[in-house]
Structure 1
Amino acid sequence: MIRKIYILLFVGAMALTLGCEEEFLDTVPTDSISEESALSSPENMELVLNGLHRMMYGQNQLTGGTSSRSGESHFIPMFDAVGGNIIHSSPGNGWMTSDLKWLSHVNSSATTGFNLWFQRYHFIATSSAIIDKVAASDFTVTSRVNNILGQSHAYRAWAYYRLITTFSKGYLIGDPATDPGVPLQLDQGPPYTSGSRGTVQQVYDQMEIDIDKAIDYLKEASPAANKSHISLNAAYGIKARIALSKGDWEAAAKNAELARDGYALLDEDGWLSGFNTYDLSEVIWGGKVIDTESNYFQSYFYYVAFSFNGSQNRSNPKLISKELYDKLPDTDYRTKGWLPLAPNTNPAASNDQGGSYESDPNYSDKESFDAAKAAIIEKYGATQGHNTHPYMNVKFQLKNPGTTDPDDVIYMRASEMVLIEAEAKAMMDDVTGAQDALAILGEERDSAFDKSIFTTKELLMEEIKWQRRVELWGEGFSYHDNIRWDEGLDQSNSGASEVLYQDGFMQPKPSVNDKWIFKIPQQEIDSNPNMTEADQN
């Protein structure tokens, strides 16, 4: 797993980005910063944390890793590709086709799984190093130190949450007391070898210890410098996610409500503005992408934004499921986030209806077909080389459309927290409480929303599932939602092509189908003395 802690790389990356602590960098070259120097003071620890903030969205800066599939910029859309919520309109340039075909995550040698594992354990190792160093030092306890410790414990909890919900069987559909988890790696120092897998329950126990400590520290900490940092609200949100994934409904509802406190839901103008900045009112946690440090053709918007000027989008606009979209009422302004009647201009479109008005059933003449494309290109600022497709996404828009300029990456919004609260209360059979929570979102998005029609847990859950798939489309939740709800994949009425999607077109539910569990990277099996092939999923 991790043979050493590459803290010097975190320090070098973020210190250069932020242009701060120049005296420290002038004194100690970035290629020779020792762990001891990097953790020698609260100021230097903050530099290390800044490196984690950058790594959340950026290209991989770790020796032994690869930059092609790394950071939440890749993993957020990847989880929606595997989970079936982002529909690809064509093979495009090949990016993520192995994910949506269900070829990558079941391959122990795949880059995606390796980087997900490798990076998350670097978050854990770095957080643990900070926690251990503070415990062994005589630093004065200040709000600044509490902030450092709070963020470190929160990052460790978040990293384990990402790992355990991806590389192990879902808590609610398995036996967490005996199901194999992921290695707990909390101590630092030689020989830097990992432990055995342990159990799912043991990992959850550690996550809950860490997130509770994070919350306690952050209550007594200096405020988060910006939304890239883990604030007290974000820590509550992480706790809500952990609780939801294990069916601790009361804790999920309580912490989701705490997480969204002070973060007003977006209005229509805000929701339709493109989700390209963490300055939006309901963003609790997100990555501020710095212009000089963008990951360009590995960026989040490269995968999801129609007008990003990259081959992934020019040839392959991403779609919402037809079945999902068609349930949106006319009174819901989210209908404007996708274009169901966009002309199918790509001759290589996977539904075999692209290229001209003659093959597109929505158009009967070339003039209207060409005019529809021209109107979309003009309105959303794409280039003439961009193709359009029915049900294409315009929820995500670049601030500077038609370019490769970087935009922010959103990790947590208040809308998600509202939906966690609603789901948790529904699962507790608190029908009135779930109705009230659901109405917070529903009444904002749909002028005709009526909470009173959802009179049972079953009706509430049906609506909550639909709301999550629409509201959080493209934000990386569908894969883990399907596991929690024990729902399989069936793309028959989505608009996805069975020829393109192959195994990803239809899959049995997770409780009877271990293909929903990512394979452990083969490098881990080969190098970890405490694991063998018998530990592979």
Structure 2
Amino acid sequence: MLRIYKSLFLLFMAIIISSCSEDFLETTPTESIAAADALSTTANMKLILNGLHRQMFAQSPLPGGSNSRAGEHYFIPMFDVITGDLIHSAPGNGWMRGELQWTTHTDATSLSCEQLWYQRYHFIASANSIINKVAEDEPVVDEELSNILGQAYAYRAWSYYRLITAYAKGYLLTDPSSSPGVPIIMATEAPFESGPRSSVEEVYAQMEADIDQALKYFGNASAPDNKSHISINAAYGIKARIALSKGDWSTAAEAAEQARVGYPLLEESDWLSGFNTYDLSEVIWGGHVIDTETTYYRSYFYLISPTFNGSQNRGNPKLFNIERYNQIPDTDFRKQAVLPLAPNTNSAAANGQGGGYESDPNYDNSDDFWTAWSDVISTYGMTTAHNTHPYMHVKFLQKNPGTIDPDDVIYMRSAEMYLIEAEAKTMMGDISGAQEVLQEFGSSRDSAYDSSLFATQADLMEHIKFQRYVELYGEGFSYTDHIRWDEGIDLTGSGASEVYYQNGFMQERPSINDNWVFKIPQAEIDSNPNISESDQN
């Protein structure tokens, strides 16, 4: 982390120049702003924040950054790949092979371990610069500055949440007061050194203080410019996630309920439209990807969408868990987002059944096999170079299918908040309260939904786990879900190939398996005098 603060000058300039707001990009000559003036006005503070908004999805311009793993566009699908929830049907071009085989996050020298760590600390350094500058200058905090400070504190809380849930043992699985967490960095002045690992409890206390401070500022803030900016609803959503991960059920339920206000659940046509825009009614927080700033072949849709015209998807359509699919009622429209009878046209398919009707158990002649493939291609707008596979998902669809055009990245939806609220109430023993929340949510997806069928805490929790998988598939929550629930991995019957998945096919539960914790980057151990090899996870 030492290198982050030594390059703080470059960090400010990179963030300012790469600001993501369309308005600022069109009206502000950001290249002309001197580093010494970066925090001199609220307008320039906004540019710092706009750089963070862009960092959430775009190619990394930061010192030491890697554009192959920049922003949330990579880490959202990664957290579903690690657990085997987002199933790869074939090796494809190799993207995330190490993640699904559990050789990446267990390797201290891997780019995934390094970039997740350093990018989140870049967010923290930027937030600190704004927070500390305002504390030093003591200006009048008007609506505009309240918005800026609310976002800065929320980004800092979110960043520590991303770090503590990856690089430390789960809060519910350890003694948080003594279990090592991550360094808490608050300063922005010399000597620019990082610190030792704080305890898990201390990091949670800092996150909670930050998100509560953010909410105070948002209470008197101007409205967000768009959904790329953190709003008061998004801040409540972050608070709900933090509380859920530590088992603070009451706070999680209350915050989740506040977060979803004003963001109505999607109707069938919108839910099935592809999740490619943050204009959907449920989206609380999301990145509006600007064409000139997309990562194209490193974008979220490149990694996850079956229609994207890239080698990752043409040769490796992503699969939905077969056992989970079979549990979805026919009255639930989300079942349409999976194609169980899509022919396996890929001769390199990991299950060894691809290439033609002879090896595909769903077809007994060539005409039916290729007609089925043609129907999928034409229905969803893929190219003739795209392969299909049984149980492939069609949840994430491009606005312009069969191209490399960018689409938005969704970070938070009200559907997640309903499910957080339901889980928290279930864990508190509020069975009727959980049923009521689930009924509102479930009936929006399933015309025959009846939450009263789940009348015990155990039944409700199993149902909520099912609902989180079906609803939030591909949105990056399964890793923290497995840790919170202390559930291991067993992909038997899922459709994943044991030969291909190797170590990732089966893993013991997190409470007895330290491999669930990401390795601290070796670069951090080598450069931080306060962290040594003995501190490694």
- Kept in 1, the 8 Å contact 2:85–2:320? The answer is yes
Change in Cα spacing, 1:520 to 1:22, as seen in structure 2 (3 Å) is same
Change in Cα spacing, 1:242 to 1:16, as seen in structure 2 (3 Å) is closer
- Deviation per CA, 1:78-130, whole angstroms, max 9, x where unpaired? 00000211000000000000000000000000001100001000000000010
Read off the aligned partner of 1:520 and give its amino acid letter: I
Cα RMSD (Å): 1.1
Offset of 1:65 from its aligned partner?
1.6
Offset of 1:440 from its aligned partner?
1.6
| Structure 2 match to 1:62 | 62
Offset of 1:135 from its aligned partner?
1.0
In the alignment, structure 1 segments of 5+ residues that lack a partner are none
Change in Cα spacing, 1:185 to 1:23, as seen in structure 2 (3 Å) is same
Q: Which stretch has the larger CA shift, 16-25 or 182-191?
A: 16-25
The 5-angstrom pairing of residues 24-423 of structure 1 reads 25=30, 27-28=32-33, 33-34=34-35, 36-423=36-423
| Structure 2 match to 1:12 | 17
- Deviation per CA, 1:210-261, whole angstroms, max 9, x where unpaired? 0000000001000111000000000000000000000000000000000000
Counterpart of 2:286 in 1: which secondary structure?
A: strand
Read off the aligned partner of 1:3 and give its amino acid letter: Y
Offset of 1:7 from its aligned partner?
1.1
Cα distance in 1, alignment partners of residues 20 and 290 from structure 2: 13
Counterpart of 1:412 in 2: which secondary structure?
A: strand
Offset of 1:23 from its aligned partner?
5.8
Counterpart of 1:285 in 2: which secondary structure?
A: strand
- Kept in 2, the 8 Å contact 1:17–1:292? The answer is no
Cα distance in 1, alignment partners of residues 31 and 442 from structure 2: 54
Identical residues among aligned pairs (%): 59
Counterpart of 1:323 in 2: which secondary structure?
A: helix
- Deviation per CA, 1:503-522, whole angstroms, max 9, x where unpaired? 00000000000000000000
| Structure 2 match to 1:3 | 5
| Structure 2 match to 1:446 | 446
Cα distance in 2, alignment partners of residues 472 and 16 from structure 1: 28
Offset of 1:21 from its aligned partner?
7.8
- Kept in 2, the 8 Å contact 1:17–1:293? The answer is no
Provide the TM-score with structure 2 as the length reference.
0.98
Offset of 1:305 from its aligned partner?
0.4
Cα distance in 1, alignment partners of residues 437 and 310 from structure 2: 40
Counterpart of 1:253 in 2: which secondary structure?
A: helix
- Kept in 1, the 8 Å contact 2:16–2:30? The answer is no
| Structure 2 match to 1:456 | 456
Change in Cα spacing, 1:83 to 1:379, as seen in structure 2 (3 Å) is same
- Deviation per CA, 1:312-361, whole angstroms, max 9, x where unpaired? 00000000110111100100000101101100000010111110011100
Read off the aligned partner of 2:16 and give its amino acid letter: V
Change in Cα spacing, 1:371 to 1:10, as seen in structure 2 (3 Å) is same
Cα distance in 1, alignment partners of residues 446 and 213 from structure 2: 39
Offset of 1:14 from its aligned partner?
1.2
Read off the aligned partner of 1:132 and give its amino acid letter: N
Cα distance in 1, alignment partners of residues 257 and 54 from structure 2: 28
Counterpart of 2:369 in 1: which secondary structure?
A: helix
| Structure 1 match to 2:484 | 484
Cα distance in 2, alignment partners of residues 400 and 206 from structure 1: 43
Q: Which stretch has the larger CA shift, 56-65 or 523-532?
A: 56-65
Offset of 1:16 from its aligned partner?
8.9
Read off the aligned partner of 2:403 and give its amino acid letter: T
- Deviation per CA, 1:242-289, whole angstroms, max 9, x where unpaired? 000000000000000000001000010010000000000000000000
- Kept in 2, the 8 Å contact 1:83–1:480? The answer is no
Change in Cα spacing, 1:523 to 1:37, as seen in structure 2 (3 Å) is same
Offset of 1:26 from its aligned partner?
6.2
- Kept in 2, the 8 Å contact 1:344–1:356? The answer is yes
Counterpart of 2:425 in 1: which secondary structure?
A: helix
| Structure 2 match to 1:494 | 494
Cα distance in 2, alignment partners of residues 329 and 451 from structure 1: 13
Read off the aligned partner of 2:392 and give its amino acid letter: M
Offset of 1:466 from its aligned partner?
0.4
Counterpart of 2:68 in 1: which secondary structure?
A: coil
| Structure 1 match to 2:432 | 432
Provide the TM-score with structure 1 as the length reference.
0.98
Cα distance in 2, alignment partners of residues 305 and 411 from structure 1: 16
Counterpart of 1:307 in 2: which secondary structure?
A: coil
Cα distance in 1, alignment partners of residues 28 and 422 from structure 2: 50
Read off the aligned partner of 2:5 and give its amino acid letter: R
Counterpart of 1:172 in 2: which secondary structure?
A: helix
- Kept in 1, the 8 Å contact 2:59–2:293? The answer is no
Counterpart of 1:57 in 2: which secondary structure?
A: coil
Cα distance in 2, alignment partners of residues 530 and 453 from structure 1: 53
In the alignment, structure 2 segments of 5+ residues that lack a partner are none
Offset of 1:15 from its aligned partner?
6.7
Offset of 1:139 from its aligned partner?
2.5
Read off the aligned partner of 1:11 and give its amino acid letter: I
Offset of 1:500 from its aligned partner?
0.6
Cα distance in 2, alignment partners of residues 155 and 297 from structure 1: 27
- Kept in 2, the 8 Å contact 1:15–1:21? The answer is no
Cα distance in 2, alignment partners of residues 285 and 294 from structure 1: 18
Cα distance in 2, alignment partners of residues 242 and 474 from structure 1: 20
